[in-house]
Amino acid sequence: MTPVLFILLLMLSVPVALVLALTAIGYVWASGNTVLYESFAQKMFAGIENYGLLAIPLFMLTGELMNEGGMTRRLINAARVFVGGFRGGLAYINLLANMFMAAIIGSATAQIAVMAQALVPEMEKEGYDRGFAAATTAAGGLLAPIIPPSMMFVIFGVLAQIPIGDMFLAGILPGLILAGTVVFIITLVGFRHGFPKGAWFTLPEALSALLYCTPATLIPIAIIGGILLGIATPTESAAVASLIAFLVGWLVYRELKPSALFAVFRRTAVNASMIVFMIATANVFGWVIIYEALPQKLAAYVTSVTSDPFLFLLIVNLILLFVGMLIDGIAALILLTPILLPIAMANYGISPFQFGVVMCLNLVLGLLTPPVGVGLYIASAMSKTNPGQILRSLWPFLLAVAAVLILLSRFPYLSTALI
């Protein structure tokens, strides 16, 4: 009964958090173990009684304050200084600005929304195809769940019970590899389609752009530096970053008004509460996983197919790719981590950090692939471009991400070298 209820609710497009809670309720009723109802609320609360989860609303708040305070525009100008004069310069600016934003926002959907509004019209003005401009922006959003800080890394770290700071470090090299791969794709497409030549800033313009951007760079420095030097936990670093974003936007750039704070806090609270509620309901869904011994049954089946960790990760990648096409990435992460991670660690000796990086990068692909494709539709709405037109330009980037996934699955040290 329980699997039928779970699949039926998903097919009816019930929010995933409610699917998890209702499936758990149905399972308790069907099993006759109704005494569990008495501890239902406590079990949900226990799922979010974790200090590390506080980093999620704080990183969201940092991103909101940055957007409200005008830092995004200044980061884009700083990116122009380094790559603006190359042929196809705006495409490289798009990617470099996405890397800056990934090191601060940590949310792919928020990043795609911000950058699509800021850069797609500019790229179209300079002669780029609108579909390619939107596709480049969407592909740059894939960096958000990998380059720290990352909300998906925070959630995975909590679920896997591993240090979130180390999880952040595990994402640095894969993030740089992914960025380099996207640069390669942009270069190939540029040679084929003859991108317009960019223009370098004059020295005074370059110095001015870098000077105005300097206060904004304090945010990634505070986040990564605090974690690397052991001065602060990821949660404390997120709190410091949000304070810096507020002070810089208010006192330095003078674009963030204290009167706007209520709206910023409200948006942050609404967006963060959806994720936190999903984590709470996933904890009660754990009853189904535990009593049905799903990890053990799946492990017995998978180990009968292969004993090679690399082949196991390839199988997992295919499963995640399919699931990511149907379910939101964060929901899929919360749902599948308790099932797949124990198998990866116990049966194949795979590092949780390698598994987390592979899992987060794979699931975020679902943001850009139909039928769900939230990131694809956000890029479409913000850039006023048909989703099909974006997909036609996006497929080389998706293939590049698939290649990076295979690389990360084959060589674990790419994820664990900095830990």
pLDDT recorded at residue 410: 95
Q: Distance between CA 419 and CA 168 in Å, rounded?
A: 9
pTM of the predicted model, to two decimals?
A: 0.83
Cα–Cα distance for residue pair 34/16, rounded to 1 Å: 23
Q: Return the bridge partners of 87, or none.
A: 197
On the question of pLDDT at 371 being above 70, the answer is no
Number of independent structural domains in the chain = 1
pLDDT tens figures, 25-69: 888 888 777 777 888 888 888 878 877 788 888 888 887 888 788
273-295 average pLDDT score: 79
Cα angle 145-151-152, degrees, rounded to a multiple of 5: 60
Mean pLDDT of all residues in 255-270: 90
Q: Please give the backbone phi and psi of residue 145, each rounded to the nearest 5 degrees, phi first.
A: -80, -5
What mean pLDDT is predicted for residues 372-394? Answer: 81
What is the per-residue pLDDT for 65?
Answer: 87
Rounded to whole angstroms, what are the CA distances from 65 to 59, 116, 148, 165, 273?
A: 10, 18, 18, 23, 18
- Is the model more confident about 262 or about 46? 262
Residue 18 has pLDDT above 90, yes or no: no
The dihedral through the CA atoms of 390, 394, 398, 401 has a sign that is negative
Range of the domain at 312: 2-416
Q: b/e for 79-117, b at 16 or more Cβ within 10 A?
A: bbbbbbebebbbbbbbbbbbbbbbbbbbbbbbbbbbbbe
